[in-house]
Amino acid sequence: MKALILAAGIGKRLGELTRNIPKCLLPIDSGENTLLDLSIQSLVDNGISEIIIVTGFGAEVLKNHISKKWKNKISLTYIFNEYYKEYNNIYSAYLARNIWDDETLLLNSDIIFHPSILKNLIKEIKKNNKQKSFLVVDDKKILTAESMKVKVNSTLEIKEINKGLEIKKSFGEYIGITYLRGFERVKFIESLEENVKNKKLDLYYEDAISQVLDKISVFPFSTLDLLWTEVDTAEDYEVAKKIASGGLSANELSQYSR
């Protein structure tokens, strides 16, 4: 398998913390690890060493960091999103469309997650006789307006994904890890291409998924209440550091609203 990591964003909401670096390079523990390092380590620990990173803001800083930290440990391909200031991440996903196959995992670069979340997902993919596609979903966390919420039908297929979904009718929150294969992958890539063709470049790639959920079958893969968070704000960053240090329990995290 291989991993596609989207890391082109500016991270405006983090202010001075990301003035000179992409937010995925924020230091996350007492050593030299960053958000991106922890994701890469989880991938490597699960036998995934082929990694594609879509860069944008701070591309050279990111590449220098990776070269020093991961030299000769992983196989890297970089794709540069020259429109990282103007377009949303739908364009980053679009740029990788030609190297995206049934063995590709998609990860957002601004997340921290318990390593077992990825381990459990890959284990499920490998024994996946029915060849299902998955979005990793936290079905335990208290949802807020900022949550990327998903709604499922009676057979647990995801049929809507959007921050604007009604909280009470939502199944959980998408955490930023996707596995699409076969027909589902093809229809998603067609959706990316259609949106770019029609210059709908202010969208997220989740919007491209949402637009074809009436045609495809995608299932939530539970985090099983294991810790994770997305880092958009300084408050998120503090939570991420606590998760990395082991200083935050699942119960404490459940009280945290983004």
The two tokens of residue 84 are 């990282």
Q: What is the pLDDT of residue 32?
A: 82
pLDDT in tens, 119-140: 999 999 998 767 899 999 999 9
Tell me the pLDDT band of 257, cut-offs 50, 70 and 90: very low
In the predicted model, is pLDDT for residue 78 greater than 50?
A: yes
Q: Which long-range contacts (CB under 8 A, 24 or more apart) does 65-70 make?
A: 65/25, 65/34, 65/36, 66/36, 69/32, 69/37, 70/40
In the predicted model, is pLDDT for residue 248 greater than 60?
A: no
pLDDT in tens, 138-177: 999 999 999 999 999 999 999 999 999 999 999 999 999 9
In the predicted model, is pLDDT for residue 184 greater than 70?
A: yes
Tell me the pLDDT band of 30, cut-offs 50, 70 and 90: confident
pLDDT in tens, 3-20: 999 999 999 999 999 999
How do beta strands 172-179 and 111-113 pair?
unpaired
Q: What is the average pLDDT score of the chain?
A: 94
Tell me the pLDDT band of 253, cut-offs 50, 70 and 90: low
In the predicted model, is pLDDT for residue 186 greater than 90?
A: yes
Q: What is the pLDDT of residue 258?
A: 46
Q: What is the pLDDT of residue 110?
A: 96
Q: What is the pLDDT of residue 128?
A: 77
In the predicted model, is pLDDT for residue 44 greater than 90?
A: yes
In the predicted model, is pLDDT for residue 22 greater than 80?
A: yes
Distance (Å) of CA 246 to CA 30, 95, 113, 121, 258: 12, 36, 12, 22, 20
Residue pointed to by tokens 């469309």:
97
In the predicted model, is pLDDT for residue 97 greater than 50?
A: yes
The two tokens of residue 238 are 């503090």
Tell me the pLDDT band of 46, cut-offs 50, 70 and 90: very high
Domain residue ranges in the chain: 2-254
- Secondary-structure class of domain 2-254 per CATH: alpha beta
